[in-house]
Amino acid sequence: MDEEKKPEGVAAPETEQPKSEPPASPVEATAPAEATPAEPEKPASAVTPEKAAKPAAAAKPAAEPGAEKPAAKPAPKKEPTEMEAEPWAGPLVDSLKARFGDKIQQFATYREQAFLIADTAAVIPILDFLKLEEDFDYLVDITAVDYPKKEKRFEVVWILYSFAKNVRIRVKAVVGEGEKPVTACTVHKAADWLEREVFDMFGIEFEGHPNMTRILLPEDWKGYPLRKEYSIIQQDQDWVRENLQIESGQ
């Protein structure tokens, strides 16, 4: 994690990561056979999240960083840095493909959990289609993941479940900074607070949301904590000073 921060040169007040360092070294110390491939893999794995978005299917052996010696091949060093997703096929995939064609970039499963990656603009029509025609009437969760290295840094995830089919799928879309995906409130009422939390933590605004305000943090907080550049001990010092009238020790 800290290796990521250094190349970015982020100005966090005190980038204290005391606990993450010791585990990192024993990994490199106790695996002598992988010592060499492990080190260059670290910065390579920092590059990983960028690659994971590319729709290319991952190659098999490489995804275990600490696994076997033959992983120390210079060429597949890039490959193990991807999720070992397997292609997903089935009637649902077929109907989605028929309906949305190339708006969906990838259908995959990992650990037997299916997901698809779609264009941001196509997500709401997909959710709508899934709800009305494929019985995915329960929106389990909306969340986001931040990959600051990629050109479009956020990956927003919608998790859906169908009571009738007892199947759970994930719909993902890659969203750039400043881009506004359309709100899912019109399709599932549950999206209301879930999207507010995504906004609160990541700063991703949802177009058309009835009340796009912060939900967990105070209304006038500055900063989006779950972004990677927001340090673990960072606070909105102005807010603390104004509202609590103290100088925070952080």
Contact residues for another protein, defined by CB under 8 A: 1, 17, 19-20, 23-24, 26-27, 30, 45, 48-49, 52, 63-66, 80-85, 110-111, 113, 137-141, 143, 145-146, 157, 159, 163, 166, 168, 170, 188-190, 192-194, 197, 201, 214-218, 225-226, 230, 232
Query: In angstroms, rounded to a whole number, what is the distance separating the alpha carbons of residues 199 and 209?
Result: 11
Closer to another protein by Cβ: residue 207 or 211: 211
DSSP secondary structure code for residue 224 in this structure: -
Closer to another protein by Cβ: residue 101 or 213: 213
Q: How far is the CB of 131 from another protein (least distance, A)?
A: 10
Q: How far is the CB of 179 from another protein (least distance, A)?
A: 19
Can you read off the two tokens belonging to residue 148? 């600051």
Q: List CB contacts of 203: < 8 A, sequence separation 6 or more.
A: 177, 224, 227
Query: In angstroms, rounded to a whole number, what is the distance separating the alpha carbons of residues 50 and 75?
Result: 18
Q: How far is the CB of 95 from another protein (least distance, A)?
A: 21
Q: How far is the CB of 149 from another protein (least distance, A)?
A: 11
Closer to another protein by Cβ: residue 189 or 241: 189
Q: What angle do CA 102, 104, 108 make, to 5 degrees?
A: 125
Q: List CB contacts of 168: < 8 A, sequence separation 6 or more.
A: 113, 114, 140, 159, 160, 161, 162
Q: How far is the CB of 120 from another protein (least distance, A)?
A: 19
Closer to another protein by Cβ: residue 18 or 101: 18
Query: In angstroms, rounded to a whole number, what is the distance separating the alpha carbons of residues 51 and 54?
Result: 6
